[in-house]
Structure 1
Amino acid sequence: MVTLPLFISGTEIAFIIFIVIMVFGADKVPEIARGLGKGMRTLKDATNDIKSEITKSAEKQGIDLDLDVTKDIKKEIDKAKEDINDITGPIKRQF
């Protein structure tokens, strides 16, 4: 069974595709998919434009957008989770 990040199984995807074909017809599906693809591409381009504008503005203001800080924070959070699991592991097994 193939699971997507949204936790949709292959059977559910097949069912959705079946419903789309039943509602819109087989001849309209490629047109709809093309439209969705173009819309997603436009959204991605707009997101990238916004990110670049924020980065440019931050550089002009002298703000350093160091993404390593977020990586360090994520590492610390993961380490804390591991420590908690190490402590609570034996407790969970007893119940």
Structure 2
Amino acid sequence: AQSISGVFAGDEVMKGSLASYTFEHMEIASYTILIAAANAAGEAEIARVCEQNLREEEAMAEWLKSNLPQVTEQFLARAELDSDSAKR
């Protein structure tokens, strides 16, 4: 049962990376909407705070994007080692 469950969990690192990157972009869209709504309502302070949060989310999305190739390479190297070990 454990080896069968490994088939489904083997790519959790990649799924987690994809989910994190996707979630950051949902947050970016959400803050963009909140900023537009705050500006339309004349709520400059709310817009300012949301803009600060937006910059943080954009920075995190960029960090994730720039690290995805390295995470992928490390995942593939580990998967290859695991595959070689299983063959023995």
TM-score (norm 2): 0.40
Greater share of residues in helix:
2
RCO higher in structure (CA 8 A, sep ≥6) = 2
TM-score (norm 1): 0.37
